[in-house]
Amino acid sequence: MGLKLWQRIIINMLFPIVISLALIYVELRNVNRIHISFSIIEVVDDINLLLLELRRYEKNTLLLIEEKENLELFHNAIGTLRSKAKSIENEIVLRTNTGYFFNLMKNIDLYEQAFEGLVVTIDNKQRLIEDIRPLGREIENLSPDKKMALVLRKYEKNYLLYKEKKAMDEVYDISKSLIDASPAIKKAVGLYTENFREIVDNDAAQNDTLQKMRQYAREIEKYTTGFSSKERAHVNTVMINGDRAFLYAALFIVFSTIAIAYMVSQNMIKVMREMEHAFDNINEDSFTHVIKTDTHEEMQSFIGAYNRVVSKLNYNLKDTSNKIKTALQTLSQKQADITEKNNSLRAISEEILSMVKEKPLNIAKTRIKLFVIEAIKAASDVYPGIPVSSNIAELPDTLNIDAALLRPALYNVIVNAMRFSPYGGKVTVAGTVENSHAAIYVSDTGPSIPDDISEKVFEPSFTTMDGAPGLGLTIARAAIERHSGTIAVDKTKQGGGTVMKITLPLIVQ
């Protein structure tokens, strides 16, 4: 007993339809995975935004701005950050490994522990400052040399305000001189010196804690950014494979249908042509073409199955498109939030620039060579991979400057040179005396600054780096010009790289 026409057609079409639907079904599941990936990327972006908030609370706490409120906000934010990281633990382990997630959580814990240590040093400093004040007044009352006692208090305040090493050394030297001049106050001076030394040690501990916090924050950002990149790459791969799968499925069905059309009887040519027309329109109509034709009853069930499959595919594609559109809108909002944070950082930088221009100068004799070496060391801590050499023997021994104001200026110039130096490059700091001025040259091996922007680099908000406020060199120029000095791109130096020249008068006008 032979098979009916509809039975033969179904049997012949069963294999290609099953294979095509299976392929499409697998890819539709992957499309759902894309939606999940966008959700994961959104969580990672939330973590990075929380990290920016944590850095702000950290700085506010350090500056004693609403300290208790910022402590509570910090702990709430880091708790939320930790929860969000744990919420995507399985995805992180799946995409990377267990160690990757462990290192991320470890750095979050270390960052929180370092913040607790920072709070302890801040509290200790406040307590030590309160303790040293009555000890200083007692020395003023007991010392026969009132003038020297007042000088001691002055250097104490200079250190507390500006962290000057010279002020610290002067406190120790004057304390010794007071004891030598009047042994009767040895005990009072000893208590004062011991308290002051605790303040110095506490400052060192605070600086070390801050360095660790910055390192842990960079590690957290490295892990989250790396995972986000992996997830985005996975999304791209799934979308590319999905496009191919849909194309292969369509082609497979088309060629299978064409082959079957040659096998059926002449009575079905009209129906086969209609079906061929339908499949030819699949790519053009994006699975929206439905077959409508009068044919044998045996073909009706097949046509009905085809129409149902196309309708389901069309519905799933529209639903997936809406999900992707919603995810892209969410990502755009996150990008806008990040831009807003960058604008806040730019506003803070502009406030610093205003302070540099208006802050009264505190001119003091400064060991300029040591000053330059300290700036080099601070910059090297930021970019340890870029070596910095110095040739400053020809600089004068001392220079009358406001060290607290000029220190970040020179630091910014050196860091800027290191930032634009390529891997394997180096930065050179040289100093000499030219025309009654101390001249400091900072050169790098990066790309040269074009002549048309050599002056623009000192203008506010001018930058060639995405997301940077563009005020580093502007602040440096403002601080140097406050000392009647100059800073400019030295165009007389030939060859690759850029040379910044800073001049400061040897004698303050």
According to the model, what pLDDT value does residue 433 have?
94
CA 107 to CA 113: how far, in whole Å?
10
Structure tokens at 73: 């906000």
According to the model, what pLDDT value does residue 84 have?
86
Task: Pinpoint the alpha helices (H) of 264-296.
Answer: 269-280, 282-285
CA dihedral 339, 340, 346, 349 (to 10 degrees): -130
Question: Read out DSSP for 82-127?
Answer: HHHHHHTHHHHHHHS-HHHHHHHHHHHHHHHHHHHHHHHHHHHHHH
According to the model, what pLDDT value does residue 279 have?
59
Q: What angle is formed at CA 335 by the lines to CA 332 and CA 341, rounded to 5 degrees?
A: 150
pTM above 0.85, yes or no: no
Q: In what order do the strands lie in the sheet with 437-444?
A: 388-391, 427-434, 437-444, 499-505, 486-489
According to the model, what pLDDT value does residue 194 have?
93
According to the model, what pLDDT value does residue 163 have?
84
What one-character DSSP code corresponds to residue 361? P
CA 156 to CA 336: how far, in whole Å?
47
**415-448 as b/e: b if 16+ CB within 10 A:** bbbbbbbeeebbbbbbbeeeeebbbbbbbbbbeb
Length of the chain: 509
According to the model, what pLDDT value does residue 422 have?
87
Q: How many CB atoms lie within 10 A of CB 354?
A: 12
According to the model, what pLDDT value does residue 396 have?
94
* Bridge-based pairing state of the strands 427-434 and 388-391: parallel
By the 8 A CB rule, do 371 and 407 touch? yes
**At a CB cut-off of 8 Å and minimum separation 6, what does 172 contact?**
193, 196
According to the model, what pLDDT value does residue 3 have?
60
CA 205 to CA 121: how far, in whole Å?
7
According to the model, what pLDDT value does residue 333 have?
74
By the 8 A CB rule, do 392 and 374 touch? no
Among 219, 237, 235, 232, which residue's Cα sits nearest to residue 100?
219
Q: How many CB atoms lie within 10 A of CB 480?
A: 23
Q: How many CB atoms lie within 10 A of CB 336?
A: 9
- The tokens 């309708």 sit on which residue? 311
CA 170 to CA 162: how far, in whole Å?
14
CA dihedral 226, 228, 234, 237 (to 10 degrees): -90
- pLDDT < 50 stretches in the chain: 1, 467
According to the model, what pLDDT value does residue 1 have?
46
According to the model, what pLDDT value does residue 365 have?
92
Q: Which whole-number Å values give the CA distances from 412 to 110, 407, 409, 474, 475, in the listed order?
A: 29, 9, 5, 10, 9
